[in-house]
Amino acid sequence: MGPGGWLRQFGLSGARSIAEFQTEPAPVARPTERRTYRIGFGQPELPSRIPDYVDLFEHAPVGYMLLDASGCIERINRTGAAMLGWDQEWLVGKPFSRWISNNDKQLFRAHQHALSGGERCTSHDLRAKNRQGRTVSLRLESTLETNHLEGGARCRSIMIDVSGEQQSARKLRLLQSQLTHVARLNTAGEMASSLAHELNQPLGTVVLNCEAALRLLKSGASQEYEFAEALTQAREAASFASDVVRHLRGFLQGNGELHTVCELSVLVLDVSTLIEADARDNDIELQLEIERDLPLVRVDSVQIEQVLLNLAHNSIEAMRDGGGGPNRVTIRAYRNLPEQIRVSVTDTGPGLGVEHHDRLFTPFYTTKRDGMGIGLSISRTIIEAHGGELWADIDSGNGATFTFTLPSIGGSPT
């Protein structure tokens, strides 16, 4: 088969654009294209145009590739070879899966499977390692060659380098999560600051009144009225301060007004959607193990999602800092007692030292460089307000597990 022959055979996407060039009388050189091809005018005589078409094929802005039935490269254009970083000749005969990164090999098999399963065209984003060891993200769009009889089905693939695209998407996600973080910090900071202000007012009154009373007592001056007034007002200010604290606790505990009956599995799935991208960016596998037919719970779903999100984020952060090894976050939801559901978040990170264990839930205690140290303490307040418990099992060097319980209200989703 000559170059023209297999070019025609190569078919759909690549050949379609060539066919368009042949039939359209309009000039084809668009301002955005770097190369100008002198084709498409008048009645082309194919044989004499072949070098042009070969040139077009080789230097197309996307990679073209023909894989045989065993998944080995039969033909690849120059752009495609450049994406992998090897010479075209050298690539021929090598299995394409060799360049797919380990984490995506299964996805590539699914890609091939979809084709042999009868799908006409399939597309996946896969990560590949090139010769320089750099990971590139390739969008692979493949079609099965239908008119090839001998030697099983071959597939034609277009490779598009989407690394830049994915990088900007990643950057966007990063910015979004930073924004959320800043917003959370702001809320927490504002809360802490206004709490400090609210508490320092009455405390200032308590201190001044007590000191005045002490001084009056020591001086022996008979100012009984002042003495009694000082103590009365100190007591009033102190109970005002305790009202402030009670009010804050009430605010966090939400009085149960926003509690609704819901399925815990739905909340877990919501949260897993939120952290999926973050986990994938950090090469962390996210695993969900949700027991079937879990009984329903009555909770403030936003708060419980907040707790789960907080625990999952902590796990991801813990593994991001420690390198190597298979990283995995597992969220389990299961029935513990007939009336109780347990949810646990386990990571395969470095775990936490025993020295941190006692203070994990202490407000403003943190092991993170930029942490506020309030995530876990607020999470515990929320869970306890729901009548549950939150604790940590720390297996040093072998990850950490945070578990919380929630009372179920009986009955299972129908």
Partner 1 sequence: MPTEQVIHAVDDDRPFLAALDRALRTTGLTVNRYVCASDFLNDLDPDQPGCLITDLRMPGMDGLELQKTLQEQQIRLPTIFITGHGDAGKAVAALKGGAVDFLEKPFSEQALLDSVRRALAKDTVDRALAGERAIIRQRCANLTPREQQVFSLVVSDLPNKEIARQLKISPRTVEHHRAHVMLKMQARSVAELITMAFLCGIRELRL
| Segment interacting with partner 1, rule: CB under 8 A, options 168-176, 183-191, 202-210, 405-413 | 202-210
288 binds partner 1 per the rule CB under 8 A: no
209 binds partner 1 per the rule CB under 8 A: yes
**Chain centroid, CA 413 distance in Å:** 29
87 binds partner 1 per the rule CB under 8 A: no
Please identify, using beta-carbon distances, which residue of 168 and 193 lies nearer to partner 1: 193
305 binds partner 1 per the rule CB under 8 A: no
Please identify, using beta-carbon distances, which residue of 237 and 345 lies nearer to partner 1: 237
400 binds partner 1 per the rule CB under 8 A: no
Name which position in 22, 167, 193, 412 contacts partner 1 (CB under 8 A): 193
Count residues near partner 1 (CB under 8 A). Answer: 27
Please identify, using beta-carbon distances, which residue of 216 and 290 lies nearer to partner 1: 216
Give the long-range contacts of residues 210-214, CB within 8 A, separation 24 or more: 210/234
| Segment interacting with partner 1, rule: CB under 8 A, options 34-42, 77-85, 193-201, 403-411 | 193-201
Please identify, using beta-carbon distances, which residue of 62 and 372 lies nearer to partner 1: 372
Least distance in angstroms from the C-beta of 365 to partner 1: 21
| Angstrom distance (rounded) from CA 105 to CA 7 | 29
Q: Are 289 and 407 in contact (CB under 8 A)?
A: no
| Angstrom distance (rounded) from CA 213 to CA 231 | 7
Name which position in 73, 81, 160, 206 contacts partner 1 (CB under 8 A): 206
Least distance in angstroms from the C-beta of 364 to partner 1: 15
Torsions phi, psi for 61 (to 5 deg): -70, -10
Please identify, using beta-carbon distances, which residue of 206 and 376 lies nearer to partner 1: 206
The secondary structure of 95-113 as a DSSP string is BGGGGB-GGGHHHHHHHHH
Token pair belonging to 161: 């380098």
Torsions phi, psi for 188 (to 5 deg): -65, -45
204 binds partner 1 per the rule CB under 8 A: yes
Least distance in angstroms from the C-beta of 225 to partner 1: 11
Sign of CA dihedral 75, 80, 81, 84: negative
Least distance in angstroms from the C-beta of 195 to partner 1: 9
Q: Are 375 and 310 in contact (CB under 8 A)?
A: yes
Q: Are 390 and 403 in contact (CB under 8 A)?
A: yes
Residue 250 CA: distances (Å) to CA of 198, 243, 254, 304: 15, 10, 6, 16
- Nearest CA to 54 out of 24, 82, 75 is that of 75
| Angstrom distance (rounded) from CA 16 to CA 114 | 23
| Segment interacting with partner 1, rule: CB under 8 A, options 129-137, 190-198, 335-343, 365-373 | 190-198
Name which position in 40, 80, 202, 388 contacts partner 1 (CB under 8 A): 202
The site string for partner 1 over 225-264 (x = CB under 8 A, - otherwise) reads: -x--xx--xx-xx--x------------------------
| Segment interacting with partner 1, rule: CB under 8 A, options 135-143, 212-220, 359-367, 386-394 | 212-220
Residues 6+ apart with CB under 8 A from 198: 244
Q: Is residue 319 classed as helix, strand or coil in its secondary structure? A: helix
Least distance in angstroms from the C-beta of 128 to partner 1: 52
- Nearest CA to 373 out of 382, 363, 358 is that of 363
Please identify, using beta-carbon distances, which residue of 218 and 369 lies nearer to partner 1: 218
Name which position in 143, 223, 265, 330 contacts partner 1 (CB under 8 A): 223
DSSP letter, residue 72: B
207 binds partner 1 per the rule CB under 8 A: yes
201 binds partner 1 per the rule CB under 8 A: yes
71 backbone φψ class: left, alpha, beta (φ>0; ψ -120 to 50): left
DSSP letter, residue 294: P
Please identify, using beta-carbon distances, which residue of 209 and 310 lies nearer to partner 1: 209
Name which position in 55, 58, 198, 384 contacts partner 1 (CB under 8 A): 198
Place of tokens 């306890």: 384
Name which position in 36, 176, 186, 200 contacts partner 1 (CB under 8 A): 200
- Nearest CA to 341 out of 273, 256, 252, 262 is that of 262
Task: Return residues touching partner 1 (CB under 8 A).
Answer: 193, 196-198, 200-209, 211-212, 215-216, 223, 226, 229-230, 233-234, 236-237, 240
